[in-house]
Amino acid sequence: MSSHWLVTTVAGVLCFSVGLTAGIGLAIVKPQKIRQWARSLGFPDSNMQWFHAQTVKFHLRIDACAPRGAVLFIGDSFIQGLCVTEVEPGAINFGIGGDTTDDVLARLPRYTSVAHAGAVVFAVGDNDLRKGFSHERIVVNYRQMLAMIPAEVPVFFCSLTPTGEGVDGSPINKKIAELNRALTTVCASRPQCHYVDLSSQLADAQGRLQPQFDDGDGLHLNAAGNRLCLEKLQESLAVRQGR
């Protein structure tokens, strides 16, 4: 047996073993974990990109048929998971989970129904913080979003909701509180812009999401939390008709 043959055989066995081990590892590890690793390394999430593009396509089909005077809800997963017709009959849900203010700014001009909407409700910004967007960048985006809505259309900016214990802790909730204060200033800059405070009833004394409103991940609201938000939004939107 030649030494060259032996070296080649050993190398082949090692390569096979490494490949087999990697294959088994990938089979065991959840796809979500792999996607998280890829994002942490700076790779784009192709699944999320596809989901986002397809959702916008569906939105545009709805947008093309939206009746004049419809109330539009635009934002992230908070909006996407909200029964908006409970707030306003005939309301339209343009929420996309994972969206940032950058994403909303990019798709907002594509919704022609904004020009003849009865009102536009925004709820977005939480994902910006998790992606490391600066406070200043988010506030500039809020102002640009507001500027893209016709002056005669009422605008409602929802406050960001707090996170629960064990998610990101007080640092993220402190940033959320700072953004909510900035949102009140943004709204005060123009008539027919209303700030909707959803966080006061959801937060505990430390500013964290109360457990009874937590859907289990510390980020999203359960049915009880959503019910509170729906009632607050109903009350806020009644302002535009003086009810």
Q: Is the pLDDT of residue 216 over 80?
A: no
Could you tell me the maximum CA-CA distance found in the chain, to the nearest angstrom?
94
Instruction: Give the per-residue SS3 of the chain.
Output: CCHHHHHHHHHHHHHHHHHHHHHHHHHHCCHHHHHHHHHHCCCCCHHHHHHHHHHHHHHHHHHHCCCCCCEEEEECHHHHCCCHHHHCCCCEEEECCCCCHHHHHHHHHHCHHHHHCCEEEEECCHHHHHCCCCHHHHHHHHHHHHHCCCCCCCEEEECCCCCCCCCCCHHHHHHHHHHHHHHHHHHHCCCCEEEECCCCCCECCCCCECHHHECCCCCCECHHHHHHHHHHHHHHHHHHHCC
Q: For residue 40, what pLDDT is reported?
A: 47
Q: Would you list the domain boundaries of the chain?
A: 3-40, 46-241
How would you label 34-68 residue by residue, b for 16+ Cβ within 10 Å and e otherwise?
eeeeeeeeeeeeeeeeeebeebbeebeeebeebee
Q: What is the pLDDT of residues 9-32, one digit of tens each?
A: 544 445 445 444 544 454 454 555
**Confidence band for 239, pLDDT divided at 50, 70 and 90:** confident
Q: What is the pLDDT of residues 124-182, one digit of tens each?
A: 999 999 899 999 999 999 999 999 999 999 999 999 988 876 555 567 888 999 999 99
Mean predicted lDDT score pLDDT of the chain: 83
Instruction: Please tell me the CATH code under which domain 46-241 is placed.
Output: 3.40.50.1110
Q: Percentage of the chain with pLDDT > 70? A: 77
Average pLDDT over residues 87-92: 96
Q: What is the pLDDT of residues 31-76, one digit of tens each?
A: 555 444 444 444 456 787 898 999 999 999 999 999 999 999 999 9
Q: For residue 99, what pLDDT is reported?
A: 95
